[in-house]
Structure 1
C-alpha cells in the first residue's frame, strides 16, 4: 500500500489542517508515522479517513482543541515534526500594509499552528503557504512569522519552492518555512527534476473521455458541459487561451487562468479548487478529478470523497505528495536517519 512507508526509527509527525492528506501522504511515504491529524472540513475529512484508516484524525475546530488534549494525544510519543498549511487571509494582494500579521484576526489559524508547536515542542516544524506571503508587507510579514518561532527557540528559514522541481507536472510555487530546535543548519530539498514533467506525461495514459462520460477509474468522470461552453472552447487548441474565442462569444472578465487549454508540452498551471473552465489540451472538456489529482501526483488508488466540486477543492488545496515527500526526506536528513 502506498500509505505505509518504512519505519525509520519510528519518526513521528502531526499534520495540522490536513485536508485530503497530500502532506500526510508525502511524510508517510518517507517513513514517518502519524501521531494525529486535524481538520474541520467534513468533505475533506471523509477523504482523509478513507485513505488513511490507521491515522488518528481529529475532525473539529483546532481552536477548540485544548492544550491538555493535545498533550494527551501525543502521550508516549516524541514529536519529530509538526507539518501543515494554515489558511491565512490577512495578506491578500491588496494587503494590510502597516498592520501586523500576527495581530490580524483573519490569521488566527496561523496562531494556532504556533500554539501547537509550543505545546508539542517538536524537533522540527514545516509550514506551507502561498508564495506571496514571502514578500507581503515589504517582507515584514515573513520576518514577523520567523520572529514568532524564534521566541519559541527555533532556528527558522524559508524559501519559495516550485513543485515542478520535485517531479510534479505542475508549476506550483509555495513558501515553505522550516524550523528546528535541535539544529542550527536548515536543509531544504535538493531539486530533483531540472527537466520538468509535462501535462502530457501526466495524462496521456488515462482513459479518454468526452463531456459527460465516466470511466471505471476512481474519480475519472467528465463534467457534462453546456453546449454554449463547448462551442466557446471548441475554438481553442492545445495551449491557447480566450483570445481565440470570437469577440461576440468571448468572456469579457474573469480569472485569466480560465477559458484556456492546458499546454500539453509544459507543466500544468497551478491547480486550484475550481478548474471547471480550464480545459484538457486534446479533449473538449474540463479535467476530471483524477486528471487534476495526477497533476498533483496523487496515486490512482487515492479516492476523493463527496461531491465533484468538493473533490476538486480537496485536490486544489493539497500539498502535492511528491513535493511533500521531498520535504520529508530533507527533514529526515536533518534528523540524521
Structure 2
C-alpha cells in the first residue's frame, strides 16, 4: 500500500479515535463531524479545520458525504451508559441511524462503531444487527462485536468499550489482546506484554502543579473564538481543596476509598451507605492501570481519582490531590503534545468522553491486515 486509507470520523469529539488511527501512519482523515464547538476546535487544532464539520450531523446532505475506505465513530452513549438514564426513547440513542446513513453514502470497506459496554444489550444494538441481514440497509457487511478492555491493548486504564467491526471485504475478527495483567509462560509465547500502568503514564510529572488556571489565550475556529490552544503542562492544573477535603485525602491509601475514612470525616450520604460505590474517594495505584477516566476526574468524590503517591509512615511524602487534566489525558493515552481548546470543564469532558488513543490504534493496526 502506498496511498493512505481515507477515513471519516463521526461524533468525533476531540479526536481520540482519529488520533489512534493516524498513529499508525496509514490513515488520512478526509471528513469529521462533531456538534460541540470546543471539541471540534480541539480536533481541528490537531488534524486541521478543513475537513472538520462543526454542527448537527443530521444537517449534512447526502451529496456532501465523500467516499471513504473506513468510517469510524461513537454515537453518543449517554442513553446506554450505566451512568445515564438508559431511556430507550432518548433521542441520542437514535443518532446511530445517522451513522448508518454515512456508511451507505461513503461505501467504506470497513466501519467501526465504539460505544459503552451496555450498548451490546440495548434495543438499538438489536436493530443494528438486523440491518446486516438479507434486505437490511447494511446487507453485504459482516459484523463482529465484543467488549474490549483498553488495558489489554496497551492503554494504562481499565476501560471497557463495545467495539463493532462491519466489513464487506470478508469477516474481520475482533483484535486479539496485546497485553495481559499477569503474564504466564503461554502469554510470553504469544508475545503478550504486561499491562501498562499509572506509573508508565504519569510518573515524572510535577507533583505540585504550578497553577490552577489555564493560560489566557484564545484562537479562532469555524469563525468562533475559543479558549486555547493549550498543550502539555498548560493543562497540568491544580485545584483548591478545602481543609476537610485535604484531611479526607490524607487517610486514603493506594487502592483505598471512602471506607478508609474515619467516621468523623464521613458525610451522611456515605455514613448511611454501607456498600457499593467502592471507588468513590479512591486513590490510584502506581503499578496498576487506572479505573475508567470519566468526565469529572478532577472530583475525587466521583471515583478513584486521587494521585497514587502515598506513604504509610511519612505524611510528607503523600500527594493529596486529584489527578490533573494532563494526567487524565496521559491515562487516556493522548500524545504529550496534543492540543486542547475550551475551558477547564470543557476540556475535562473532552478527555473523559474520548476513545482511548491506544485502543483505537490497536483496532486501526488490526484492520490493515484486511484492507
TM range (shorter): 0.7 to 0.9
Match of 1:114 among 89, 94, 100: 100
Equivalent residue, structure 2, for 1:171: 158
Tell me, in whole angstroms, the C-alpha distance in 2 between the residues paired with 1:120 and 1:232. Answer: 53
Offset of residue 224 of structure 1: 2.2
Query: Any conservation in 2 of the 1:36–1:58 contact (CA below 8 Å)?
Result: yes
User: Which structure 2 residue ranges, 5 or more long, are not aligned?
Assistant: 181-193, 215-231, 310-318
1:306–1:91: structure 2 CA closer, same or farther, 3 Å change rule? closer
Equivalent residue, structure 2, for 1:240: 256
Query: Any conservation in 2 of the 1:12–1:35 contact (CA below 8 Å)?
Result: yes
Equivalent residue, structure 2, for 1:80: 69
Q: Does 1:12 align with 2:34?
A: no
Query: Any conservation in 1 of the 2:81–2:116 contact (CA below 8 Å)?
Result: no
Match of 1:24 among 2, 18, 23: 18
Aligned ranges 1:1-337 → 2 under 5 Å: 8-30=2-24, 31-53=26-48, 56-70=51-65, 74=66, 78-91=67-80, 93=82, 95=86, 105-136=91-122, 141-150=124-133, 151=136, 152-153=138-139, 154-183=141-170, 185-194=171-180, 195-209=194-208, 217-251=233-267, 252-253=269-270, 256-275=278-297, 276-277=299-300, 278-282=305-309, 283-335=319-371
1:149–1:105: structure 2 CA closer, same or farther, 3 Å change rule? farther
Aligned CA RMSD, in angstroms, stands at 2.3
Normalising by structure 2, report the TM-score.
Answer: 0.79
Query: Any conservation in 1 of the 2:78–2:86 contact (CA below 8 Å)?
Result: no
Tell me, in whole angstroms, the C-alpha distance in 1 between the residues paired with 2:245 and 2:91. Answer: 40
Tell me, in whole angstroms, the C-alpha distance in 1 between the residues paired with 2:257 and 2:210. Answer: 19
SS of the aligned residue for 1:218 comes to helix
User: Which structure 1 residue ranges, 5 or more long, are not aligned?
Assistant: 1-6
Offset of residue 69 of structure 1: 2.1
Tell me, in whole angstroms, the C-alpha distance in 2 between the residues paired with 1:209 and 1:242. Answer: 24
Query: Any conservation in 1 of the 2:93–2:124 contact (CA below 8 Å)?
Result: no
1:116–1:162: structure 2 CA closer, same or farther, 3 Å change rule? same
SS of the aligned residue for 2:233 comes to coil
Query: Any conservation in 2 of the 1:34–1:55 contact (CA below 8 Å)?
Result: no
Offset of residue 188 of structure 1: 2.3
1:310–1:214: structure 2 CA closer, same or farther, 3 Å change rule? closer
1:235–1:192: structure 2 CA closer, same or farther, 3 Å change rule? same
1:55–1:165: structure 2 CA closer, same or farther, 3 Å change rule? farther
SS of the aligned residue for 2:369 comes to helix
Query: Any conservation in 2 of the 1:41–1:59 contact (CA below 8 Å)?
Result: yes
1:59–1:327: structure 2 CA closer, same or farther, 3 Å change rule? same
Offset of residue 110 of structure 1: 1.1
Tell me, in whole angstroms, the C-alpha distance in 2 between the residues paired with 1:122 and 1:109. Answer: 19
SS of the aligned residue for 1:44 comes to helix
Query: Any conservation in 1 of the 2:9–2:71 contact (CA below 8 Å)?
Result: yes
Offset of residue 134 of structure 1: 1.9
Tell me, in whole angstroms, the C-alpha distance in 2 between the residues paired with 1:90 and 1:51. Answer: 29
Offset of residue 144 of structure 1: 2.5
Count, aligned residues: 314
Tell me, in whole angstroms, the C-alpha distance in 1 between the residues paired with 2:262 and 2:147. Answer: 38
Normalising by structure 1, report the TM-score.
Answer: 0.86
1:324–1:92: structure 2 CA closer, same or farther, 3 Å change rule? closer
User: What whole-Å deviation, never above 9, does each CA across 1:257-280 have from its counterpart, x for those lacking one?
Assistant: 331111222110000111121211
